[in-house]
Structure 1
Amino acid sequence: MIELPQSFLEMPRWWTEGAEWLAGLPRAVESQCSRWGLTITGPVAHGSNAVVVPVERDGAAFALRMSPPGDEVSEQVRALRWWDGRGTVRLYDADATRGAMLLELLGESLDERPVGEAVEVLGGLMRRLAVEGPKDAWSTQDLVRASARKMEGHLTGQTRAVAPPYLLAALDVAPKLAASKATAAVNGDLHSAQVLRGRREQWLVVDPVLYRGDIEYDLARILWTRLDEMTNDAEIQQCFDTAVRAAALDRSHARDWVIFRTVDYWLWGLSVGLTTDPVRCRRLLGAIL
């Protein structure tokens, strides 16, 4: 059976949930390999809530991904089938009830590449994924309306974790974002760590979250996840412009989305006790506003 990396066992998610699944994971991997006729060929890699095991079947290489079963797995399977390998890892088989996916084997993470290169790649992937989205997917318009209502509550409440000027800036752009008529497929979890080197295409997205609407939705995440590597405001603005150019975006509309999503993430980060991310959010807004 596989040996789970200690770094995976120590992930924060397992502090409050998933202990039973985690204990049974080595046996579950063994069972899934038997079910799909797979042979393990290398060490286990992992993210925050899933392991990826390199495997082989009939001389062909794959990656077996195992994560806790549930709606999240079903949604990932749907997203990968929707894009069908266009800018994303190819899905060969899935068993959502067991949290199992058989995927194309990929290489190094985009997180290992310089920030300027990564931002350009991610911008290109935003455009690459912009096929027509499914009509029943969550829309970025609905998401912004829901978040704006929460921001209004923070603005009028007695506890103001985020200064009013930032909340007002986000609420000022919210009506324009909510009124968008865009219907493109959107990846709602796009950042360097979720992109790996491929063979069919140079870089491919893993673990996408499928929305419908404005592809600018997650541009802020592209920036804040690598913000510590940007030395000053000028470099932040340069990275923003690089992504806008690579994705062929309207700069003003992209800026509005960065403002709104950064304030939204700032509020969420504070609500769950994050410490470094709110600081990044403040810095990003300082450079963009």
Structure 2
Amino acid sequence: MSPVEVPTSFRASPRWWHDADGAAWLDALPSLVEAAARRWDLEIDGRPSHGSNALVVPVRRAGEPFALRLTPPGDGVAAEVAALRFWAGRGTVQLEDADVDAGVTLLERLDATRSLASLPLDDAVRHLARLMRRLAVPAPASARSTGDVVRDRLPELTADWERLGQPFERRALDAARDAGAGLTTPAADVAVDGDLHHEQVLAGTREPWLAVDPVLLRGDVEYDLARILWTRLDEMADDDVPRHVRTVVEVADLEPERAHAWVLFRTVDYWLWGLAHGLTEDPVRCARIVTLLAG
């Protein structure tokens, strides 16, 4: 078997610029692929692709197509494997095998060239809303609560706003704090994918659309509605933003006021995070969402 060639574009990602361990992991990728292929009796079936943090190699075993996914080892790998095992293919990509210590998973093969980002917005938003509800099964007690996310973050919002030089009006901060105060105790105790958006849902054959890289939380289904907005906000007219919120609320059977509160809290939280990490475009998107929904 010829060694897998790591794409130049993956090596050039800013993710690795100041990460010596990451650079060493990139160098080790061909041998990691070879070891996984021997262990699981796999044949390479095409050229690798990548996102910002993972290399995906198309493979076959006994003629059946799979995807070999490799990420830097760490706690995130174990959490993702646990999430995939929990949902067991219900609305998510199916996990076939995993080597958590090596950061390697063997997955059902999906169409990496077709995500919900390729669909018209109205269609994509409805698919995401249906998937939110499909994933909302009784959650394991070990999963982190959406209420804990708010409780951990709420006391830090004002300090971050001050540290960043009060980068937006105080009323936006206050609106987020007021919204968050009502979210510390979840209204539900169901499973939630804490990283669900258009590019994280790929076309499949077993089901038309399946989520990848899920983050398992428990609590309010409304938790990540804001991300559905900001990831394709540039395609939305002003009137579209509240309209898409209403669509998700209706299709996913959400509580309107709670959905609105989650959008405000998560958007302001991400706004501050983005400014702290040097983002330039997403903070502008966050400002627009808050202006449209909070005035």
So what's the TM-score if we normalise by structure 1? Answer: 0.96
Alignment partner of 1:55: what SS?
Answer: strand
The change in CA–CA distance for 1:128 and 1:175 in structure 2 (over 3 A counts) is same
Distance 2:108 2:186 in 1: 35
Query: Residue 53 of structure 1 corresponds to which residue in structure 2?
Result: 57
* 1:28 equivalent in alignment to 2:32: yes
Q: Which of the residues 262, 270, 274 maps onto 1:265?
A: 270
Q: Report the AA paired with residue 212 of structure 2.
A: V
Counterpart Cα distance in 2 of 1:21 and 1:100:
12
Residue in structure 1 matched with residue 11 of structure 2 by the alignment? 9
- Which is worse superposed, 251-260 or 6-15? 6-15
What is the alpha-carbon distance in structure 2 between the residues aligned to residue 133 and residue 162 of structure 1?
Answer: 37
Q: CA offset at residue 239 of structure 1?
A: 1.6
Report the equivalent of 1:252: 257
Matched length = 288
Alignment of 1:1-289 (within 5 A): 1-17=3-19, 18-107=22-111, 108-154=114-160, 159-230=165-236, 232-289=237-294
Task: Return 127-136 or 158-167, whichever deviates more.
Answer: 158-167
SS in structure 1 of the partner of residue 284 of structure 2: helix
Q: Which is worse superposed, 232-241 or 210-219?
A: 232-241
8 Å CA contact retained: 1:233, 1:287: yes
Cα-to-partner distance string for 1:178-230 (whole Å, 9 max, x where unaligned): 12242111111111111101112110000000111111111000110010111
Deviations 1:79-126 (A, max 9, x none): 000001000000010001111101001112222112221111111111
Cα separation, partners in 2 of 1:47 and 1:156, compared to 1, 3 Å: closer
State the SS of the aligned residue for 2:96: strand
**1:6 CA drift (Å):** 2.2
How many Å apart are 1:158 and its aligned residue? 8.2
Cα deviation for residue 162 of structure 1 reads 3.0
User: 1:157–1:194: structure 2 CA closer, same or farther, 3 Å change rule?
Assistant: closer
2: distance between equivalents of 1:49 and 1:130? 27
CA contact (8 A) 2:161 2:272 kept: no
> Equivalent residue of 1:233, what SS?
coil
Distance 2:250 2:231 in 1: 19
Q: Secondary structure at the match of 1:284?
A: helix
Does the 8 A contact of 2:84 with 2:214 survive in 1? yes
Separation in 2, partners of 1:270, 1:246: 33
- Alpha-carbon distance in 1 for matches of 2:285, 2:93: 30
CA distance in structure 2 between the aligned counterparts of 1:49 and 1:39, rounded to whole angstroms: 23
Identity %: 52
CA distance in 1, matches of 2:196, 2:293: 20
Give, in angstroms, the shift of residue 152 of structure 1.
3.0
Contact 1:188–1:218 (Cα < 8 Å) also in 2: yes
Consecutive unaligned residues of structure 2, counting only runs of 5 or more, are none
Q: What letter corresponds to residue 269 of structure 1 in structure 2?
A: G
Report how far residue 161 of structure 1 moved: 2.2
8 Å CA contact retained: 1:121, 1:246: no
Amino acid at match of 2:150: V
C-alpha contact 1:186 1:214 (8 A) present in aligned 2: yes
Superposed CA RMSD: 1.3
Gaps of 5+ in 1: none
After TM superposition, the structure 1 stretch with the greater mean CA deviation from structure 2, 51-60 or 108-117, is: 108-117
- CA deviations 1:141-193 (Å, max 9, x no partner) are 01111111011324666821232111000011112111224211111111111
